[in-house]
Chain A
């Protein structure tokens, strides 16, 4: 009924995807890591230069190897889109992350899509809440999730007790080539993979008092 996570997550290559929400940076970092590992091509991360919230490579290191991430500072959105298109088309990078602060036109989104296709690269646009572009292959809403129950289980399950295991809720809210989905997952830094916890049947979010529970089909089903 819902798309299986492994069908959705290593993101479809040669396409541009969108991600929004608080956990967008982590999503992008994980996608970069996957891209660099599977593709042997570096990743590129574009930011506008006025943004003070700098990426911290020591934090990124949990998700992907910061040696293979190039940070590109651009002056404005126009320059960012041009640079993103160039990078996607070049075929030299596996993943291009662009922190897009303002809405894209459909033309711009479509151009990125075509560029990604040509360069066989994955584009990830980090967009603001409520933004979006119809040209995107998929759109994800990622939030870090707090769940006391999950915490308790985690204490019980030694294997999951890594200091960085953080529960995230990733919702697939637009998908051109499949159905939507919603998963709660943790990142395992040692094996470098995403572990889906909600499919294991223990539904940690059921204890959460988050306001967006109705969003998630899993919760709605309960």
Chain B
């Protein structure tokens, strides 16, 4: 890849543009932000790949974590830069220059080329990292001083400019000397400002520094001078180091291998205690736990526990492990155990009195239970979930739709809370009764609260007896019909309740259009929910279907 022109492309405002390119591509005259078609025209041998910015960001995070070996404070700079505050840690590597060498060498070993800059200030370090190789004949190569130093490492697969590292280094207090010859773009200025300055003949930082301050501000606003001051250390600029992501893993190595389930559980209890303390400090709860047991012969078996709710009480989690730990083959014995919370969610502090299992019904208890805070239920859901999968334990959630199949949805109980009230039930009994009374008086307007079947199934066509003449005008259910190989005759029918399909939601089952639903009581005892599509009356002789059963 070092020899063939190569570039990563990214879809930007409706065009494929070059996102990142290698040295030989740059030598062909290509540059960042160029359209891919233009680039191809310039350089037919260009090879490209789509850029994966998420993976880049992830990689940068990893690199930042790795860079923690050089100094405690590591921050991100843009999409492809790291910012290290190496104040006070350079002597560990034999000075600033040696530090730069170490970083470069180690990264090169991993196949990563890097541009570095090291200076008193963040601005100067940035300038050196991005433009340090610019016009190297003017650069001064000096050995290092000391003081407040920052490093910028750009990590994406850039070309590597192999001018000596010394030009990347600004002596303490001599930032202007180190970056003065660099172009004004090295000050992190907007392109418009840069162009404006260039037009005035202000090409380098030195030249900008030499201008009277008032005129620059009048012409270009505050930004150029602010950046200049930041680079030269006249103005403070903070770096925001990444906070170390808490790591929820604990392990324990055992002096002697263990094999009994009780022993394993005892170790698990100890690990769990430590993990839960950690979770507690971070205000988090574990959602998925993974227990790894390494046997003496280096085989490892893993047990995964998915919890119905974020939890961090060791006493509650431990029994949930029991079943799966019992199934683990200990072989010659287990000598290392590791417990990790692989999925963690923020979890608010609980009140200490929330275990509700009383049979005597206080209103508060029921409220707590209905709010889904019943710990016993959560534990049950977790235990069942580890056996049959959490996604198979479902809760009914009402949905806002008149279509009977869509008037509710089934949501995994572990990720949803019970709704406050089921529509049409709830506390307002009087209102409900009024609605019901209205419903009996005016059946057309009874709306969604007219009775619904206990069981709903996909519509099943009914068979009308051959003898009966289909009457095109007839809208009432047929007097006799066959359904599921049973001969049924209708005794009472109530309806119709007309339900129109929801045009904003494409549903093949409702292509046939509006449906008139009837509650039908048969002499055989079945109480069915029939519907019929009146607009298809003339085309389909049997346009009657059974969709539900009231029983």
Determine which of A54, A69, A91, A162 lies in contact with B457 in the assembled complex, contact meaning CB atoms within 8 Å: A54
Which single member of A54, A59, A83, A86 contacts B451 (CB below 8 Å)? A59
Report chain A residues within 8 Å CB of B381. Answer: 70
| Interface 9-mer from B25-33, B73-81, B355-363, B535-543 | B355-363
Q: Kindly state the separation between the CA atoms of A73 and B389 in the bound complex, as whole angstroms.
A: 9
Q: Does B251 contact A (CB under 8 A)?
A: no
Report the bound CA distance from A43 to B393 in whole Å: 12
Residue B398 is within 8 A (CB to CB) of chain A in the complex: yes
A87 to B393, CA, bound (A): 12
> What are the interface flags for B411-453 relative to A under an 8 Å C-beta threshold, 1 for contact and 0 otherwise?
0010000110110110001000100100110000010101111
A171 to chain B, nearest CB (A): 13
Interface string of B243-278 (1 = CB under 8 A from A): 000000000000000000000000000000000000
CB pair A79 B548 closer than 8 Å = no
Q: Give the CA-CA distance A61 to B494 in the complex, in Å.
A: 20
B383 & A163 in contact (Cβ 8 Å cutoff): no
The complex places the Cα of A93 from the Cα of B383 at a distance, in Å, of 14
Residue contact A22 to B525, C-beta cutoff 8 Å: yes
- Chain A interface, number of residues (Cβ within 8 angstroms): 59
Q: Which of B358, B384, B392, B422 contacts A57 (CB 8 A)?
A: B422
Select which of A22, A25, A67, A146 is within 8 A of B491 by beta carbon.
A146
Residues in A whose Cβ lies below 8 Å from that of B384: 72, 83, 86-87
Does A23 make an interface contact (CB < 8 A)?
A: yes
Across-interface contacts of B394 in A (CB, < 8 A): 70-73
Binding site secondary structure of chain B: mixed
Assembly CA distance A55 to B455 (angstroms): 5
Given the complex, which residues of B lie within 8 Å of A161, measured CB to CB? 440
User: When A163-B436, A163-B494 are in contact, do A57 and B398 touch as well, CB less than 8 Å?
Assistant: yes
In the complex, A74 Cα to B418 Cα: how many Å?
Answer: 22
Q: How far is the CA of A24 from the CA of B548 in the complex (A)?
A: 15
Chain B's interface size range is 35 or more
Please, what's the 1-or-0 string for A57-91, where 1 marks a CB less than 8 Å from any CB in chain B?
Answer: 11111110111111111110001001100110011
Shortest C-beta distance, A138 to chain B (Å), equals 20
| Nearest CB of chain B from residue A9's CB, rounded to whole Å | 17
Contact B418 A68 (CB under 8 A): yes
Contacts of A52 in B (CB 8 A): 457-458
A41: which of B369, B383, B388 is its contact (CB, 8 Å)?
A: B369
Query: How many whole Å from B356's CB to the nearest CB in chain A?
Result: 8
Q: How far is the CA of A24 from the CA of B358 in the complex (A)?
A: 29
Residues of A that sit less than 8 Å from B by CB: 22-26, 29, 38-42, 49, 52-63, 65-75, 79, 82-83, 86-87, 90-93, 120, 143-146, 148, 151, 161-164, 166, 190, 209-210
- The residues of B with any CB-CB pair to A shorter than 8 Å are 357-359, 361, 365-366, 369-370, 374, 376-377, 379-381, 383-384, 387-388, 392-396, 398, 404, 407-408, 410, 413, 418-419, 421-422, 424-425, 429, 433, 436, 439-440, 446, 448, 450-458, 491-492, 494, 519, 521-527, 548-551
22 A-B pairs (CB sep. < 8 Å)? A24-B551, A40-B366, A41-B369, A41-B374, A54-B455, A59-B453, A61-B452, A66-B396, A66-B408, A67-B418, A67-B419, A67-B421, A70-B393, A72-B392, A86-B384, A86-B387, A91-B357, A92-B374, A143-B525, A161-B440, A164-B550, A166-B551
Question: Nearest 3 pairs between A and B by C-beta?
Answer: A92-B376, A57-B396, A59-B454
